[in-house]
Amino acid sequence: MTLDTEFERVTLDLDDPFTISRETQTVAENVVVRITDADGTTGIGAAAPSSHYGETADTVEAVLPDLLAVVEDVDDPHSLDRIERRLRETVRANPAARCAISIALHDLVGKRLDLPLYRYWGLDADETVSTSYTIGLDSIERMREKTATAVDAGHSVLKVKLGTERDREIVDTVRTAAPDARIRVDANEAWTPHEAVDMIDTLAAFDVEFVEQPVPAENSEGLEYVHERSTLPIAADESCVTLADVPRIAERADIANIKLMKCGGLREAKRMIHTARAHGLEVMLGCMIESNAAIAAGCHLAPLLDYADLDGSLLLADDPYDGVPISGGEIDLAGTDRPGTGARAAE
């Protein structure tokens, strides 16, 4: 068997500028990886690096030649454990780069076996959860408009970015525009512990489902302080990056927000999911702003989740890849008629 590998950088325009408490994004830089076997079958994956975790498209491109050399040397896409171990030995950091390879290999394996990934894992397509749709920070009027547009598109679960002096007004605006929606909020580390407790008391009046990452990740004592006093469940995102973080947040949060781009790949994400369960945590799978070349793989984990935040491709003006059908936030694994992750070049 001979495996050929290649990668390319793609710049993806967002449908609207996307603002959270620490930054505004107008484009997403993804790096697409392709792994092709001797029969011409190609697996597709993508990296969506985040500078918040010390990774950029430049660093991904810098390490991919060494990582893909490992894949070519092992020369067997089914040797997922060996490849994963050697990738980690080759590059300890750059999880998004390793993730792109993990996704491409799983896509290739599924295609070689003629099975969608969820069936390869033996998961139940009828047990998926709906993904939330994110309302980024903006003027009050634009957030009202974005909320109305999302509701009109059928989204019943909304994730609202907070971390401003207008947070109460923002949540009031979104709840008024979407009276029947499930609403979650994400402060992206913007509050102090005392601010978080006060704000959570306010949010409870708006029937908010849970609060994500209220305080900075490095303030583990602050997260514990908030968790002990919160009237709403707490989700840990920036505080939950790798497998080793799961036991650390178990007494400081209720929900582990796992992301493929943070942990380095699908096998590690599954380990984190099961470890979170063993520690009594609920599980959410999140994403960066990603093409379906990456998002599609995450969708196949939906039967293992309590919550999904897999709207990264929905925020793009134009995605060069199709993936698992998502309509109104419903992840339609049962309607996935392609093997592997289901990602392919858009027609």
pLDDT tens digits, 61-70: 999 999 999 9
Res 41 pLDDT > 80: yes
**What is the structure's pLDDT at 241?**
98
Task: Walk across the sheet containing 23-36 and list its strands.
Answer: 4-20, 23-36, 42-47
**What is the structure's pLDDT at 8?**
98
> pLDDT by residue (tens digit) across 285-314?
999 999 999 999 999 999 999 999 999 999
Res 165 pLDDT > 90: yes
Match 């979407």 to its residue by tokens: 178
What token pair was written down for 164?
A: 């401003």
Q: Which residues of 139-166 are buried (b: 16+ CB within 10 A; e: fewer)?
A: eeeebbebbeebbeeebbbbbbbbbeee
**What is the structure's pLDDT at 138?**
97
User: pTM for this structure?
Assistant: 0.97
If you average pLDDT over every residue of the chain, what do you get?
Answer: 97
> pLDDT by residue (tens digit) across 135-155?
999 999 999 999 999 999 999
β partners of residue 31: 9, 47
Residue partners of 20: CB distance under 8 A and separation at least 6: 136, 137, 161, 163, 186, 188
In percent, the amount of the chain with pLDDT more than 90 equals 98
**What is the structure's pLDDT at 337?**
85
Give the distance from CA 19 to its chain's centroid: 17
> pLDDT by residue (tens digit) across 87-103?
999 999 999 999 999 99
**Residue 40: Cβ-neighbour burial (10 angstroms; 0-12, 13-18, 19+):** exposed
**What is the structure's pLDDT at 227?**
98
Positions of CATH 3.20.20.120 in the chain: 119-345
How many other CB atoms sit within 10 Å of the CB of residue 76? Answer: 14
Angle at 64 between CA 246 and CA 321, to 5 degrees: 80
- Give the pLDDT band (50/70/90) at residue 330: very high
Mean predicted confidence (pLDDT) in 231-250:
98
- Give the pLDDT band (50/70/90) at residue 181: very high
**What is the structure's pLDDT at 83?**
98
> Which fold, 119-345?
TIM Barrel (3.20.20)
Q: Which of 206-210, 214-218, 333-337 has the lowest mean pLDDT?
A: 333-337
**What is the structure's pLDDT at 317?**
97
> Which fold, 4-114?
Enolase-like; domain 1 (3.30.390)
Res 196 pLDDT > 80: yes
Positions of CATH 3.30.390.10 in the chain: 4-114
**What is the structure's pLDDT at 347?**
83
**What is the structure's pLDDT at 1?**
76
